[in-house]
Amino acid sequence: MRISFCCTNTKAEPWLQGFRQALPGAVVEEWLPGAPPADHAIVWSPPQQFLDEQPGLKGIFNIGAGVDALMKLKLPAGARVVRIDDGGMAVQMAEFVSHAVIRHFRELDAYQADVAQAKWSFRRPHQRKDFPVGIMGLGVLGERVAQAIGHFDFPLLGWSRSPKSIAGMQCFAGAGQFDEFLLRTRILVCLLPLTPDTQGIMDRENLAKLQRGGYVINVARGAHLVDEDLIALLDNGHLAGAALDVFRTEPLPVEHPFWKHPKITVTPHTSARTLREESITQIAGKILAMERGEPVAGVVDPQRGY
Ligand code: NDP
Ligand code: OXD
């Protein structure tokens, strides 16, 4: 079995070593143009040329959860795209989003600013009933985040494509229930995959439906958000702030207004990192299962795009 590794912006050697150890019978090579065609591919944002040269691929294993970059390409007929299914990312996302929610709710940035001036200050505690947290996307990551936020007793709402029932959460589904979900939400967390249906979903019209003093946490993809619409709603006071981990262009260009906006906290796409060891174990297991003709988790539905 031949496995080709083609991951943009990723140091290949440690991955190759890991896969060679996990799959001793396989030839695992980093892809170079013109390399022999492989049975399976391990990818992150590969060039179209890579896929064009690999017509016989059975599995295309993405070393992240989001497959949006891959789904824009022309894929070999018959290849199944498989995403990372948690692989240690869900708990990272849960801690990151919990931190962002609590930092906003407890006004920790304002305390930090006071402390920087040696100012001993108190703020009146907020009521958590006034800070309903709404999570868009209740998949592998969204559900784990919901479980974590649930521990802090905020009212919890969730929105997904198909109807769900999650303990402690008021669940909404589909386009028909989206407005109701937004109108009841104050802290909005985006954990949707980026697809034609979700591109630009956080635009002025939708963000304006959040409760006054709303807060936006985007940990999914930059293109879910319309940047100038967020800034307009922050500047007119409808929204109180935003924690943004993902951007339309990454790295975020130095001249982008998000860097310096007083109500925006920027992090460099780091809310849930791909963990190499966990991912190698997971992907190697799935390759072997696929070779045995067994079902594997995390296969992307090409119609839905996630
Ligand atoms: P999943 O595929 O497990 O979950 C996606 C969820 O979104 C599902 O609940 C799905 O609904 C819902 N959804 C999809 N389309 C729609 C729609 N049109 N309307 C309403 N709901 C919709 O994905 P993960 O939880 O694993 O990951 C989510 C995203 O997080 C990834 O696609 C990636 O972009 C991003 N990510 C970001 C990272 C970072 O470091 N910032 C790290 C890892 C991932 P249903 O359940 O009904 O199918
Ligand atoms: C992912 C990511 O999709 O890191 O896994 O963004």
Active site residue 224: no
In a domain, residue 109? The reply is: yes
- At residue 240, the pLDDT reads 98
Q: How many Å apart are CA 184 and CA 1, to the nearest integer?
A: 52
- At residue 295, the pLDDT reads 96
- At residue 39, the pLDDT reads 98
Q: Are residues 47 and 73 in the same domain?
A: yes
Q: Which residues of the chain have pLDDT under 50?
A: none
- At residue 294, the pLDDT reads 98
Q: How many Å apart are CA 267 and CA 247, to the nearest integer?
A: 10
Q: Are residues 250 and 284 in the same domain?
A: no
Strand 133-136 relative to strand 59-62, pairing: unpaired
Least Cα distance to 7 among 31, 27, 36, 33 occurs for: 31
Which CATH number does the domain housing residue 240 bear?
3.40.50.720
Q: Are residues 93 and 82 in the same domain?
A: no
Q: Are residues 285 and 173 in the same domain?
A: no
Question: Which ligand has an atom closest to residue 161 CA?
Answer: 1
List all residues 6 or more positions away from 41 whose beta carbon is below 8 Å from its beta carbon: 3, 4, 5, 6, 31, 50, 54, 57, 59, 60, 61, 79
In a domain, residue 305? The reply is: no
Q: How many Å apart are CA 102 and CA 285, to the nearest integer?
A: 37
Q: Are residues 193 and 235 in the same domain?
A: yes
Q: How many Cβ atoms sit within 10 Å of the Cβ of residue 18? A: 18
- At residue 108, the pLDDT reads 97
**β-pair partners for 157:** 134, 170
Q: Are residues 47 and 105 in the same domain?
A: no
Q: Are residues 111 and 226 in the same domain?
A: yes
Which residue's C-alpha comes closest to atom 12 of ligand 1? 137
193 within ligand 1 shell (Cβ under 6 A): yes
From 80, 269, 273, 276, active-site residue: 269
In a domain, residue 151? The reply is: yes
In a domain, residue 198? The reply is: yes
- At residue 148, the pLDDT reads 98
Full residue range of the structural domain in which residue 198 is found? 89-266
In a domain, residue 300? The reply is: no
Q: How many Å apart are CA 19 and CA 33, to the nearest integer?
A: 21
Question: Which ligand has an atom closest to residue 298 CA?
Answer: 1
- At residue 215, the pLDDT reads 98
- At residue 176, the pLDDT reads 98
In a domain, residue 296? The reply is: no
Q: How many Å apart are CA 181 and CA 241, to the nearest integer?
A: 19
Question: How much distance in Å is there from the Cα of 67 to the middle of ligand 2?
Answer: 8
90 within ligand 2 shell (Cβ under 6 A): no
- At residue 193, the pLDDT reads 98
Number of domains into which the chain is organized? 2
The packing angle between helices 89-105 and 140-150, to 10°, is 40
- At residue 55, the pLDDT reads 93
String of DSSP letters for 236-256? TTSEEEEEE---SSSSPPTT-
Q: What is the pTM of this model?
A: 0.98
- At residue 186, the pLDDT reads 98
Q: How many Å apart are CA 177 and CA 156, to the nearest integer?
A: 15
In a domain, residue 53? The reply is: yes
Q: Are residues 105 and 226 in the same domain?
A: yes
In a domain, residue 111? The reply is: yes
Q: Are residues 168 and 139 in the same domain?
A: yes
Active site residue 104: no
Q: Are residues 72 and 160 in the same domain?
A: no
Question: How much distance in Å is there from the Cα of 207 to the middle of ligand 2?
Answer: 24
Q: Are residues 59 and 171 in the same domain?
A: no
The H or E element that residue 287 is part of is helix 276-291
Q: Are residues 23 and 159 in the same domain?
A: no
